Amino acid sequence: MRIKLEARAHTPAAVVYATPVVAALLTAVAGGVLFAALGYPPLQALHAFFIQPLSTLNGLAEVGVKATPLVLIAIGLSIGFRGNVWNIGAEGQLTMGAVTGGAVALAFYDVEGVWLLPLMTLAGALGGMAYGAIPALLKTRFNASEILTSLMLTYVATLFLSYLVHGPLMDPDGFNFPQSRLFHDSAILPVLGFTRLHLGAAVALFVVLAGWFVMARTLIGFQIKVIGLTPAAGGYAGFSQKRVVWLSFLVSGGLAGMAGLFEVAGPIGQLQPSISPGYGFTAIIVAFLGRLHPLGILLAGLLMALSYLGGEVAQIELGLPLAMTGVFQGMLLFFLLGADVFTRYRLRLGSPPAAARVAAAADKPKPAGEAA
Amino acid sequence: MDQFVNFMVIMLGAATPLIFAAVGELVTEKSGVLNLGVEGMMLMGAVAAFATTLTTGSPVLGLIAAMAAGVMMSMIFGLLTLTLLANQVATGLALTIFGIGLSSFVGQDFVGKPVQAVAAVDLGPLTAIPVIGPIVFGQNPLVYLALAVVAGVAWFLYRTRAGLILRAVGESHHAAHAIGYPVIAIRYGAVAFGGAMAGLGGAYLSLAYTPMWVENMTAGRGWIALALVVFATWRPWRVVAGAWLFGGVTILQLHAQGAGIAVPSQLMNMLPYLATIVVLVVISRDATRIRMNAPASIGKVFHPER
Amino acid sequence: MSPTPRTDADRTESAPPTPRLALHGITKVFPGTIANQDVSLSLLPGEIHALLGENGAGKSTLVKIVYGLLQADAGEIRWEGAPTVIASPAEARRLGIGMVFQHFSLFDSLTVAENVALGTGDRTPMRQLEERIREVSTRYGLPLDPRRPVHALSVGERQRVEIVRCLLQDPRLLIMDEPTSVLTPQEAEQLFETLRRLREEGRTILYISHKLEEIRVLCDRATILRAGKVVDAVNPREKTARQLAQAMIGSDFATPARAAAAAVEAPRGDGLLEVERLNLASGTPFGTTLVDVSLSLHPGEILGIAGVAGNGQFELLSALSGETLVQDARSVRIAGAPAGHLDPRRRRELGLGFVPEERLGRGAVPDMSLAENALLSRGGGADDMVSRGLISFRKAHGLAERIISAYNVVAGNGARATAKSLSGGNLQKFIIGREIMRKPRILIAAHPTWGVDAGAAAAIHQALLDLRDQGTAVLIVSQDLDELFVLSDRIAVMSHGRLSESRPAHEATVEQIGLLMGGVFETSDAWEADAHAH
């Protein structure tokens, strides 16, 4: 008896929604096994990772703080991924948004006014957009892989920020520390009570709704989906592939830029060499885990935010290395991609012996040289 | 003259990890699979090589461990994309994220520890020849190994029957399947080779180039290697040319600083990344050439039933 | 035909020879369909045996079982009398079974010799292999240059590569899957010569086709499949094409009703669609360049374009639909307006409807519902499903339901069914219905009934003729000459990126068209040159 994959003509909705949950559970199990193997008590470690951060009000607020950039960026990325446009340089666009928005804050240092935050947000979004426009231009004009160019630009952006805080934007009274002045009050996002949960979270929620509306109801969303699923059908319908590339990069770059600005105008409060623990990359996982659906992304963003916090708690409580967070995130995405196969294929058991022999032989890895 | 020798030696060294990773990825891509996880596999190779060499004292065991780590990473990718038919782009990204996390996790106890670097060869009188000696006969053994791998891959792909089959699978998996070749098995082999070579590239970094382990020490070289494959239009020897070019850029950046040119180091450090973009643009703008050379079924999921 | 039981008598001189291949009760079930049910047949040495049936009758499945690509769920295969399991194509080749595929299993970027080496499992050095290819290909009248890359070959030459690849292994059974669908009539005739020579050498040929005439000319016996079962085994030479067709389709089929010859005799003036000296370099590396293509299409007529696939039809169609823009805007004119620079949507607004060749993946998005697919070629105007950038899914759903009922589309979930869940014929009816519902002034249809079952094909033909009678200008590109003769008022031929002048269909002969398909058009009066020859 052998297990065979068979294409589905129709995918039940239950399967689509169940896979991320299954993937998350499998990750928890695999994580537990990993903890045990490393000599940490698995249940305690999992508790520290996933439950403890949620036990205080402040912890909940912190989940919101970390989910804000993840959700903002992932909504933008999901639009591109739907259209088969692979922006993986959101980290760079986030950095550039922080730079441009932060530069506005520093330019108007000590100038009071309610107009300043909107202006900074606009500058941040435009900065991210402009930076996202580079891979879009290189893709549409020169056919250069957006995956590689957007990623290379991330390194460039990080170096650029480092240059700025070591040079032109360094705090003149900062004893040569590589960081800018602390933003003044008018340039800091209002927060909820005594927490660090800032106005950016509300913006992220709004973006979730807007993202849902665009993808579900508008012609543009439809065009993106058609181009992403079947480019030839998009061409037949008269939808422009280049337009989808541009749109994807401008939207995802803009949102990433805005997320970057919210970080420096929110929890950080100044420009410094490192402003993100890889939100731009983690947002890729968030987008997939959320099934590229805005509401799914909201949930996935909260879960990923929890994994960041959990990593911190586990480090303090059990001395687990912070890098565990990345391992968890990678595993989660693996399990999701693996589980995804069942949305497109169905398992079938059993097939005649002769066929099974051939198929089994074909699945065994052999040196590339061996022919049939 | 010393300057020139110095330049050449460092350039060949800087190019070597790129050659390993790129030529491995080239074989993977020639079989029709796009594995974007090179960066993650290199990091795992780097940390495995370092840890093994530090604990056993044997760099050879370190290299073997690096290859094993690369292969294991690549098999995760193979399982997901070849057997479970997952999207190759997404899986490759996941592999890189996972590799970054896992390597820093595994390597946390090794940060800052010293290891004996793999020594350059010394062929006595040959190495003593001025200029040519140190450049041609005085390199790290891994530098020669990388070139030997390229020669082997070029011979394999274009002179052997197995290489012909591998190219055929990358050209049209449906046709290859119809004739009766085991498409999935061949691709597993090519993916594993890519993993092993990425592991070696990482090992070179942590054992020879900068003999130590630092989190994320590949600094984007895995991605540059991916760009190199495109730059080389999928030809093995052009990978070497491209890698040397990048090695040259890296050196430029070091020497400019040494020569006291007043450009901030951060801006100089952007050079390799900017160069990658420029090179990609120059090569890719000729869309026909890319399409003529790229393996036709690259990145496409193969399901034998249909 | 009942399978001959193998008895001792078989071995005597006078008894019928042992079948080279005998199938007994072969059954193969796919989810939802029984592809083969209790199929038995036997193939003798030195015969050309036809396997006849329409699309979906189970021919391909049966052949794949014989070639080891699929395994039967039940039944027995005997090779030269001995029960055999054919586990893989390599196994089949080892036994002496060769196969020429319908959709070629060639690798474009590799050379002829490399392709042959891959297909034979032959480990002879390349030099020697090249020599043998030259030798075998000349011996059987299939000349080939072993060093040329396959992408530089014509479709007919590619087929030769496949055949030579098989012949090099000295097969005792050669399977040919719809070999003439890609050939000009003259090339087909040449192929038949080769096949007859192979028969004389005592080889067996299993010839799969749904083309009745060529089976009558070529084959010694014919086994007819319908819905997965053997319905008859006959000597095709003793039957008329109509009798064979009835056996194949099962009931008396309706030929589409043509309106009286009121059809336009010689259209005058500017057409609704005008193509004038269109030159277009192909955008794909292995494509065809269009050279000086001109045509004009008038209301109330059907212009058929014949030709072997890969002669520029794809490029012409995408230049007409707007998927490729052309340099000179005036070289494509719709209702007098220069359209060469307009995208597909703007051309639709001018009244163009378009049915692409590739229905799943171009004409429809496989993973989307029929309602969403109805949106793909939406028109402007009052009943547009989109206003101010917002989609009315209610309207899209309504349109899809209307198409489904008007064109008898069988779709499990109605407008909610995904495109990929429909059969080829039903999806094609949906797409053609969608385009006709838009009331186009011009309809362009590429290979409208390719791979479609006979019932759907008849319905599609009728719909196209009705549309013509209502005054729409219709352009049909097809490889199927029978279809073109049934539908067209005028016929033109495409070859090597050029388009011949058109000719009223009732004056054109298969031979003339065949010559033109082969590229024999000394300028435009090839029709004349050939007419004199007759």
Q: What is the pLDDT of residues B77-111, one digit of tens each?
A: 999 999 988 889 889 988 998 999 899 888 888 88
In a domain, C47, yes or no: no
At residue B305, the pLDDT reads 58
Q: Chain A contacts of B193, Cβ < 8 Å?
A: 368
Residues A341-352, mean pLDDT to the nearest whole number: 68
Distance CA C101, CA C69 (A): 12
One-letter amino acid for residue B133 of the chain = G
Residue C139 has a pLDDT of 85
Which band of pLDDT confidence, cut at 50, 70 and 90, is reported for residue B201?
A: very high
Confidence band, pLDDT 50/70/90 cuts, at residue C227: confident
**What residues of chain B lie within 8 A of the CB of A344, using their CB?**
85
Query: What pLDDT band is residue C103 in, cutting at 50, 70 and 90?
Result: low
Tell me how far apart the alpha carbons of residues A345 and C31 are, in angstroms, rounded to a whole number: 13
Identify which has the larger pLDDT, C180 or C376. Answer: C376
Task: Return the CATH number at C528.
Answer: 3.40.50.300
> How confident is residue A365, by pLDDT bands cut at 50, 70 and 90?
very low
Which of A72, A31, A95 has the alpha carbon at shortest distance from A278?
A95
Interval A346-357 mean pLDDT: 51
**Average pLDDT score, chain C:** 83
Contact C88 B178 (CB under 8 A): no
d(CA A277, CA A259): 13
pLDDT digit string, tens, across residues A322-337: 888 888 888 888 898 8
Instruction: Check residue A122 and give its pLDDT.
Output: 97
Optimal mutation site among A236, A240, A241, interface C, most CBs of chain C within 10 A: A236
| Chain C residues closer than 8 Å to B167 by CB | 107, 109-110
CATH number of the domain enclosing B233: 1.10.3470
Hey, are the CB atoms on A323 and B101 less than 8 Å from each other? yes
Maximum average pLDDT range among A29-38, A66-75, C492-501? A66-75
**A137 interfaces chain B, CB cutoff of 8 Å:** no
What was the pLDDT predicted at A356? 35
Chains near C (3 or more Cβ pairs under 8 Å): A, B
* Residue numbers of C between 279 and 298 with CB closer than 8 Å to A: none
Query: Are B281 and A142 within 8 A, CB to CB?
Result: yes
Q: Is B277 within 8 Å of A152 when comparing Cβ atoms?
A: yes
CA atoms within 13 A of residue C43's CA, in its CB half-sphere: 28
Instruction: Answer for the pair C182, C156: CB distance below 8 angstroms, yes or no.
Output: yes
Question: What is the rounded CA–CA span in Å between residue A163 and residue B229?
Answer: 31
- Is C108's CB within 8 Å of B164's CB? no
Tell me whether C29 touches chain A (CB under 8 Å): no
**Which candidate from A225, A230, A355 shows the least CB-CB separation from C361?**
A230
**In-domain check, residue C320:** yes
User: Which three-class secondary structure state does DSSP give residue C135?
Assistant: helix
pLDDT of residue B111: 87
Please give the residue of chain B at the shortest CA–CA distance from C104.
B175
Q: What is the pLDDT of residue B1?
A: 59
Which residues 342-361 of A have a C-beta within 8 angstroms of C?
Answer: 348, 351-352, 354-355, 357-358
Mutation test of the interface with chain B: which of A143, A164, A304, choosing the one with the most B Cβ atoms within 10 A?
Answer: A143
Q: Of B29, B179, B292, which to mutate for an interface test with C (greatest number of C Cβ within 10 Å)?
A: B179
pLDDT: which is higher, A206 or C527: A206
In a domain, C446, yes or no: yes
pLDDT digits (tens, 9 = 90+) for A72-94: 999 999 999 999 999 999 999 99
Which of A147, A284, A335 to probe by mutation at the B interface, max B CB count within 10 Å? A147
- Asked if residue A357 has pLDDT above 50, the reply is no
pLDDT at C379 over 70: no
- Give helix C424-437 / helix C393-406 axis angle, nearest 10°: 110
C positions 30-69 inside 8 Å of A (CB): 31
Structural tokens at position A290: 């959320």
Q: Which of A10, A229, A354 sits opposite C71 (nearest CB)?
A: A354
Per-residue pLDDT reduced to its tens digit, C322-360: 998 998 889 999 988 899 999 898 899 889 999 998 888
Confidence of residue A353 (pLDDT cuts 50, 70, 90): very low
Q: Does C323 touch chain A (CB under 8 A)?
A: yes
The fold of the A3-353 domain, in CATH, is ABC transporter involved in vitamin B12 uptake, BtuC (1.10.3470)
Q: Look at residue B302 and tell me if it is in a domain.
A: no
pLDDT per residue as tens digits for the range C105-137: 788 888 999 998 887 776 778 888 899 999 988
In a domain, C281, yes or no: yes
Q: At B257, is the pLDDT very low, low, confident or very high (cuts 50, 70, 90)?
A: low
Q: Is A361 on the interface with B (CB under 8 A)?
A: yes
Given a cut of 50, whether residue C197 has pLDDT beyond it is yes
Taking residues C9-20, report their average pLDDT. 63
Q: Which among A292, A349, A358, A370 is the top mutation candidate for probing chain C, defined by the most C β-carbons within 10 Å of its own β-carbon?
A: A358
Q: Does the beta carbon of B232 lie under 8 angstroms from any beta carbon of chain A? A: no
Nearest CA in chain A to C91: A372
The answer, for B290 touching chain C at a CB cutoff of 8 Å, is: no
A144, A159, A361 ranked by CB distance to B270: nearest: A159
Query: Can you give the pLDDT at residue C522?
Result: 52
Confidence at residue C220, expressed as pLDDT on a 0 to 100 scale: 93
What does the alpha-carbon distance between residue A193 and residue A107 come to, in Å, rounded to a whole number?
29
DSSP characters over B139-185: S-HHHHHHHHHHHHHHHHHHHSHHHHHHHHHHH-HHHHHHHT--HHH
Looking at residue A360, its pLDDT comes to 35
- Candidates C271, C214, C307; CA nearest to C518 is C307
Residue B23 burial by Cβ neighbours in a 10 Å radius (0-12, 13-18, 19+): buried
Give the span between the Cα atoms of C238 and C205, in whole angstroms: 20
What pLDDT shows up at residue C10? 43
Q: Would B303 be classed as within a structural domain?
A: no
Residues 176-205 of B with CB under 8 A from C: 176, 178-181
Strands (E), B35-138: none
pLDDT of the residue at C524:
47
Chain B residues whose beta carbon lies within 8 Å of the beta carbon of residue A310: none
Give the Cα separation of C290 and C316 in Å (integer): 7
In a domain, B259, yes or no: yes
For residue B301, the model assigns a pLDDT of 83
Total domains present in chain C: 1
- What is residue A316's predicted lDDT score, i.e. its pLDDT? 87
Measured between beta carbons, the chain A residues lying within 8 angstroms of C87 are 354, 357-358
Q: Which domain holds residue B201?
A: 2-293
Predicted local distance difference test score (pLDDT) of residue C527:
59
Calculate the average pLDDT of chain A: 87
- Give B-chain residues touching C119 at CB under 8 angstroms: 179
> Contact B267/A147, CB-based, under 8 Å?
no
Contact C362 A371 (CB under 8 A): no
- Nearest CA to B30 out of B189, B258, B203, B143 is that of B189
A251-284 pLDDT per residue, tens: 999 999 999 999 999 999 999 999 998 899 999 9
For A315, the 3-state DSSP assignment is: helix
Q: What is the pLDDT of residues B21-53, one digit of tens each?
A: 999 999 999 999 999 999 999 999 999 999 999
Which residues 221-260 of A are in CB contact (within 8 Å) with B?
A: none
| Interface residue of C365, C394, C426 to substitute, partner A, most A CBs within 10 Å | C365
Number of domains in chain B: 1
Q: Mind listing the pLDDT tens digit for each residue in C261-298?
A: 444 444 556 788 999 899 988 766 667 889 899 999 99
Residue A200, class by beta-carbon neighbours within 10 Å (0-12 exposed, 13-18 middle, 19+ buried)? Answer: buried
Tell me if B299 is assigned to some domain. no
Kindly indicate the confidence band of residue A3, based on its pLDDT and cuts at 50, 70 and 90.
low
Q: Any chain B CB within 8 A of the CB of A365?
A: yes
Contact B93 A155 (CB under 8 A): no
Structural domain harbouring C291:
273-360+440-533
* Nearest chain B CA: its distance from A302 CA (Å): 19
ipTM score of complex: 0.86
Q: Which residues on chain C are in Cβ contact (under 8 Å) with A240?
A: 343
- Of residues B16, B11, B25, B38, the one with CA closest to residue B236: B25
Find chain A residues with C-beta within 8 A of C347's C-beta: 238
Pairing of strands C48-52, C221-226: parallel
pLDDT band of C251, cuts 50, 70, 90: low
Confidence of residue B169 (pLDDT cuts 50, 70, 90): very high
Which residues of chain B lie closer than 8 angstroms to A372, CB-CB?
180-182
